[in-house]
Structure 1
Amino acid sequence: MLQLVRRNAFGRMKRFRMHDIIRELAVDLCQNYRFGVKSEDYICGGTLHRDGRRLVVHKLKKDIHHSFSSIHGLRTFITLDKSMPPLTLLPLISENSRYMTVLELTGLPIEKIPDAIGDLFNLRHLGLRDSKVRYLPKSIEKLLNLLTLDLCRSDIHELPRGIVKLKKLRHLFAEKETVSGRDFGLSSGVCIPIGLGNLTNLQTLQALEVQDESIKQLVELRQLRSLKICNVKGIYCEHLHESLVQMPFLSYLYVGASDKNEVLMLNTLPTSLQKLRLNGRLPEGTLSRGSTLFQGVEQNMYSLRLSWSQLREDPLPSLSQLVNLTVLHFFRAYNGEKLTFLTGWFPNLKHLSLRDMPNLKRLEIKLGAMATLESFTLGSLNSMAEVPPGLEFLMPLQYLGFFQITRDFLKLLYQCPQLVCTQWQHTLRDDDDDDDR
């Protein structure tokens, strides 16, 4: 009854299409239980239905602020209307809907959270993503039942001390807008005061601006499944290593250095790790043949993204041990002149991106390498003077792109017989418009 539309790079089900019969049944249930209906259907005579438990506001045409005084049983409030005036909404909800469990205000131009938010003692989910909130009130420490706190892309840079009292908290999203581009990319998060180790039930922590105290307490978070940390300095790596080996369930890890000269000294990874992203310089020998970094994760690792690694040795022989890798991205990761994909390497790879490696002159692909590749992107490889030999072995591809290339290299692409019957995209270094072929 649910039809599969798309899988992700790992082969997991990502998107479904609902069968018509199921959709009609879902709409009927929503109407019966007053869930997910449009605001104009939910509001009768300017007053909310008093028996309503769940309210999803979409394209609001009337002011419902005064109507909250008549509804005390509301458990879930979700707004999809980004233009809704928020000035008096939160105080009304806090005063009249004390048993609220889900409060989702993503995208609203809220700048301040009232102290009364602490009265929602039953709250499980608080969503302030893409808001203008700059700080959380001290009363947030009263939300002892809170499971999810979503502050992603808000203006909050530091959490109040009382946040460490929320011992049931499982998911904390606080990543800021990522600054990326040709310069060193920086992701930022929030600073957590002394007591991070009290949040022992955390499963998701994205993103933490590590400091001397927080990096030491990270070892207590042994239930983590997803961890993203920023502002990492070389002196923190020993504590980070001690923490990672104590996380048996960790599947996603992002480590971002404080600047491009800081060296990320990582020796081993949790055997459960599936997705790894490192943004920062790696020491010599990290990805040599004798490296122990990926020991124990050869079968589990599905996605690897290396940025600003500045490696001198060829990393491919070491990475070829990751037989189930489906995503591989290099951005300023390699300073050498040659990369060769040998026969049998990366048998399950689907997405490959090689960008900003100015010294790379030759990229060679042997028959039988990357046999399942679907997407291949090359960008800003300024020293490359020939179309990669063996590119024809990858055809046909669902996507092929060449970005920030010279006009001379573009002429070589047009003359390449392997690309005559293939769709591909490109952009030029002089900022010409994109062309398709």
Structure 2
Amino acid sequence: MAETVLVLVIKKISIALANEVTNQASAQFAKHAVQLTELQGSMRRIMRELHVMHDFLCQMDIRSRGNQVYQGWLEEVHKVVYVMEDMVDEYMHLVGRHRDLGCCFYLKRSFRQPRSVLSLDSIASMVNQTEKDLAHLSQTKERWVPITNSGNSSYNFVQRPQDLASISRSLDEDDLVGIEDNKQKLVEWLGVGDPARSVIVLHGMGGLGKTALTSTVYRKERERFDCHAWVSISQTYIREDILRRLIVEIFRDKSNAPSNIATMDITTLQDTLKGFLE
């Protein structure tokens, strides 16, 4: 997902701007204090821009699936963000803190340019250009993307989360990286407290893999419960549809499944679901 790329680069920039790295850079480039300050200022402004862009993508990705103009704009965003990622890598390498980026950044491009040791001046110049490119992309979005997004988007707005949930259910545990701690925590939470009155919430920025993590735990732990259902609810939804999908899920493979679910009104749907759960 596009949001994931931005999250990783935002994290890299925040590491590069951390006090320990900043102090080392200041000592190392004491003779270029003004240039270093301007570079760090550009990096902060870019990080703020990427935060806003990330929030925008979390909304637009649902509504603009199949929108050719939006997808083209998104490709240009990727190019600029990848350049910024390279510049952060170069900066950390120059400062001698490249190991601080850590192994958590495993979603890398398949092909990368050979590493070159750039000077502080070159990095500052390219980061400054990246800041200008992001500003230009923001202006381009305002001019073109909303216009092409004014058509029939209700289907995509509702269908996209359901598609993501369906894809996540098909992932094998081996496809996921770095989820062990959170997975174990969820499994433990499912085994404590009153099972009739429990709500567990996963929250975080888009693209972190919350749905995939939940799906993994759901498939592993669902048989411990008397009944279970996997239902995706988007920002816009119809209550009757949610109830129908719940009933279909909990009656799956059961001989007493009602045959008229599709024609039930909301009162009958509620009574059917309530009767089963009781």
**TM-score, normalized by length of structure 2?**
0.28
* Greater Rg over alpha carbons, structure: 1
Larger helix percent: 2
Normalised to the residue count of structure 1, the TM-score between the two structures is: 0.21
If each structure's strand is expressed as a fraction of its own residues, which one has the higher value?
A: 1
